[in-house]
Each structure stands twice: as structure tokens, then as C-alpha cells.
Amino acid sequence: MNISGVPVLAQDQIERAQRLADLVIATSEQELAAISGLTFIQSILRNLERSRKEQVTPLNDEVGLINNSFKILNEPFKQAEIHLKGALLNWRQAETKRIYDEQFRVLTENVERERKAREAEELVRQQAEEEALKEAAAAGLNEAEAKEWAEEVVNNVPAVQFTQEQVPVAQPTTVKGTLGSATLRTTWDFEVKDETQVPRAYLMVDESKIRIAVRAGIRDVPGIKIFQIQSISGRRTH
């Protein structure tokens, strides 16, 4: 497929590159051929890169202008989005705390109501038992009969009723509006407080700082192997 503006290389150039890709250097003559081939390859690559930039740069500039235009258009809406998300989050957090506090209050008061009802019921039972024992004694019942009569009376004492307040329901995770909905998600995040206490397993080696140190002459860094690498650079002779 041909793309407009993309240079077309001669077939002999492509074939030469393919041959050079398999070149084996075993003699000084082959070394010279490799050097010439490297110069040829690098010259082609430079020309291709220059051509690519000549075509891509205007497009990138146009893309930059378009992106900047949309950034300006988006700005007020982005600010509104940030504000609304923050306001909704603050409201949900405050409302969640209010409901939680209300739930705690209601549950505490319900427990207290039940406790007082049980105390009142126990007092009524005690009074009923005392009255039953007095009645049994007046009727001339023996101790066993009086105790049995008192137990029957106490068992028939109605339970003291009390009203429990309804516990508030927690907020739903998703709230639907007229045009859409908002969902509160809770996720875990982190913040580094003291790097010296972070376990080694979570640390990352800063290779850029090591490279700067090695280039500056540092040759001994614990845990680092420092070694030389030889490379070939080609240059066209004029």
C-alpha cells in the first residue's frame, strides 16, 4: 500500500540492506565492506527519519492546536465536574456520618428502653408474687401450695410493652437523578510517610542516578555490577 508522501526506496538499496544484515566479518576486507555498509545504512536511516519528521511535524503541530482548542473548551466543564464531584463526595460523607450517628443513638436508646421495660416487668412480678403469697397465707395454704399459687400468678403477669424506634437506613451506594446517577465507590489508596521504613520488596532501583554516578567515575556501588560495553558508530567520510 502506498502512502502519499512516503519515499519509495530503490530495490537495489533494499537488497543491499538485506545482504548487509547477513554479512559475516572474517577478513579485513570484509571489515571495510561492513564499515561502508554501515555508513550506507545509517545514511538511509537518517534520510528516512528526516523525511518522516518533515511529514509528521506539521501533523503534530495541527494535532497540538486541536488538542489545545479542546482543552480550552473543556476547561469550564472540567472545573464544574471537579467541583460537583467534590461537593457530592462531601455531602455523602457528611450524610453517612449523620446516619451512622443517628443509628448509634437509636440503637442505644432502644437498648435502654428494653432495659427499663425489663426492670419494670421484674418489679411487677415481684409485687405480684408478694401479693399472691399474702393471699395464700390468708387462705391458709401451706408453704408448698402458697409457692405454687404464687408461681402461677407470676407466670400470668403480662409482659411490659415498650416501643423501639426505627433504625435509620444507610444511604444507597447509587443515587439516581433526573438525567443520570452517581455511585459512591470506596477504594484503598496509600501515601508514603517515611521512605526509610518501607520494606525493600516495595523499593525500585533508580537506574538514572546510577548511570550518572558511573559516568562521573564511580566504580563501586554495593549490589551493582559496573562494566564496560564497546559499540561501533559509523560516520560518513566526505
Q: pLDDT digit string (tens) for 169-199?
A: 888 888 888 888 888 888 889 999 999 999 9
Specify the 3-state DSSP secondary structure of 88. Answer: helix
Does 81 have pLDDT greater than 80? yes
Type and span of the H or E element at 82: helix 28-138
Domain assignments of the chain as residue spans, ordered by start: 11-171
- In angstroms, rounded to a whole number, what is the distance separating the alpha carbons of residues 183 and 176? 9
* The predicted structure's pLDDT at residue 68: 97
pLDDT at 238: 64
Give pLDDT, residue 219.
94
CA gap 105, 167 in Å, rounded: 9
What are all long-range contacts of 99-105, with beta carbons under 8 Å and residues at least 24 apart?
Answer: 99/168, 99/169, 99/170, 99/171, 100/170, 102/168, 103/167, 103/168, 103/170
DSSP state, residue 232:
-
Residue 94 and residue 155 in contact, taking contact as beta carbons nearer than 8 Å: no
Average pLDDT rounded to a whole number, residues 8-15: 90
In the prediction, which pLDDT does 168 show? 87
Question: CA-CA distance, 206 to 47, in Å (whole number)?
Answer: 36
pLDDT per position as a tens digit, 46-71: 999 999 999 999 999 999 999 999 99
What does DSSP say about strands 174-176 and 181-183: parallel, antiparallel, or unpaired? Answer: antiparallel
Express as a percent the part of the chain with pLDDT over 70.
97
Q: Is the dihedral of CA 209, 214, 218, 224 positive or negative?
A: positive
pLDDT at residue 157 is higher than 50: yes
The three cell numbers locating residue 89: 463526595
Exposed, middle or buried: residue 150 (CB in 10 Å: 0-12, 13-18, 19+)?
A: buried
Gyration radius of the chain's alpha carbons = 44
Pairwise CA distance, residues 171 & 89, whole Å: 13
Average pLDDT value over all residues in the chain: 90
Q: What is the reported pLDDT for 149?
A: 83
Q: Which residue has the higher pLDDT, 157 or 37?
A: 37
